[in-house]
Amino acid sequence: MDPYSDVITKLLAESRIIAVVGLSPNPDRPSHEVAAYLQRHGYRIIPVNPVAAGTEILNEHCYATLTLAAAALAEQQLRIHLVDVFRKSELVEPIADEAVAIRANGLWLQLGVFNQVAIHKAHAAGLDVVADRCTKIEHEKWLAL
């Protein structure tokens, strides 16, 4: 049995606003493909990419950090539910810290991304965590249930 199945179901069902950390403006990149897929399925995507900050990706304003994105959404009485991470494993720990600080419900590390310290920090703060899984692939499976 998949140890993440209940957490995946919960996060996909309850998360409506997803910050995608490392979202590329390049449509050929996996982060862009996954975010566009999620957007087509009713999720609001919040791009987080310091290189593309101030531009629009997928018709949404791109922020330099999760903290800045969360502050902008708070002005609209909205909040980030899920932080979906497309970054190298060794860069995840500060992202997990930010996810905790903005009070996200979950931290999702994409395929190939795994950082035990970040996972532990997020779990200890009460966040649901999925690691080394793709939100698009898992959503497709979830829809098929």
User: Please, what is the average pLDDT of the chain?
Assistant: 96
% of the chain residues with pLDDT over 70: 99
Per-residue pLDDT reduced to its tens digit, 31-46: 999 999 999 999 999 9
The CATH number that applies at residue 16 is: 3.40.50.720
End-to-end CA distance of the chain, in Å?
15
Residue-wise burial string across 105-118, b where 16 or more C-beta atoms lie within 10 A, e elsewhere: bbbbbbeebebeeb
Domain containing 59 equals: 5-144
Confidence at residue 5, expressed as pLDDT on a 0 to 100 scale: 87
pTM above 0.95, yes or no: yes
Beta strands 56-57; 44-48: pairing state: unpaired
Confidence at residue 1, expressed as pLDDT on a 0 to 100 scale: 59
Tell me 97's DSSP state: H
